[in-house]
Structure 1
């Protein structure tokens, strides 16, 4: 289904590594019928050839009509300054979070609040890509646990306000908004 340009959406696409979540998010951006602003959260590192190859793969898939902005830190500010009624594709939340992992809890809370606030003040549709990292073993090192926990909380908060929410895994796209019940509603049903 093609989204009408007047309908603003917040979409979350989540899944494991190499699942196709970015490709699905790109498909949704094309279907939006809006001009697309691709917000790349990665930081280029010429000394890491494999990382550069990953970035290049993403760049080659994008239509030439899309505008790309590299935003490793200032995501809320980029959302605030986005063109009116565009489609923002943020790829990815895990990379953005990794860039900010040195923030203490109080600073991270402010950063997260700023991001969530920006979502309420934009006329653009936004598609977030987020990695699922919590399906495996608990990391043995503190920074790994911090990353996994913060990303899990961020994804859960966005999943509570996004519609639809997609899970891409095993080469399949699942619309969790159609198949499931939001956690807050499920908890209310059990009370």
Structure 2
């Protein structure tokens, strides 16, 4: 049986580093799925991507998958650890999708997660801790990512929160909410 782990927290909290540490601890070959695409016209973005690349061990396989996330890990074998970084960027790649199409995309991903044989490590940003965004696209992003993180977190064996330079295992410290009635 595979392990499904969610690592969440605010920007620059160390989420990716903690997830990378967990991937190494798995002792399995790692496939790193990057949901961000390079943008050669944005030097700061390129520097962020490069920083992530430099931290990863040389033997990890890296795949850039901005959209077809579920299809990419659907056939992964049990001797593999897959690290998906990050769900926030993945959600952002679908902001132009209408709500019905988004719900279909989300359902496809969430239905697949329990069927995957490989260990899955998801990294996700927490965006809803501040004010409600003043613009519709910002609210759409926050709501979609928040809904995904909540639903995925309910499916995970372990959920970590990384903040303030500390890692908290929410699966030990807390308890899951009852399922939503929708």
How would you bin the TM-score normalised by the shorter chain? over 0.9
For residues 44 and 81 of structure 1, what CA distance do their matches in structure 2 show? 26
Moved more, 112-121 or 90-99: 112-121
For residues 65 and 38 of structure 1, what CA distance do their matches in structure 2 show? 11
Question: In structure 2, what is the equivalent of residue 78 of structure 1?
Answer: 72
Deviation at 1:117, TM superposition (A): 1.8
For residues 112 and 46 of structure 2, what CA distance do their matches in structure 1 show? 30
Aligned pairs, number = 180
Instruction: Tell me if structure 2 keeps the 8 A contact 1:79–1:118.
Output: no
Q: Deviations over 1:149-182 (max 9, x none)?
A: 0000000001101121000000000000000011
RMSD, matched Cα: 1.3
Q: Is 2:130 the counterpart of 1:136?
A: yes
Q: Deviations over 1:94-150 (max 9, x none)?
A: 000001111101100110011112212211000000000000010000000000000
TM-score by length of structure 1 reads: 0.91
Deviation at 1:184, TM superposition (A): 1.2
Give ranges in structure 2 of 5+ residues lacking alignment.
none
Give ranges in structure 1 of 5+ residues lacking alignment.
1-6
SS at 1:128's partner residue?
Answer: strand
Segments of 4+ moved more than 4 angstroms? none
> 1:8 and 1:84, CA in 2 relative to 1: closer, same or farther beyond 3 A?
closer
For residues 143 and 151 of structure 1, what CA distance do their matches in structure 2 show? 12
Query: 1:113-128, aligned counterparts within 5 Å?
Result: 113-128=107-122
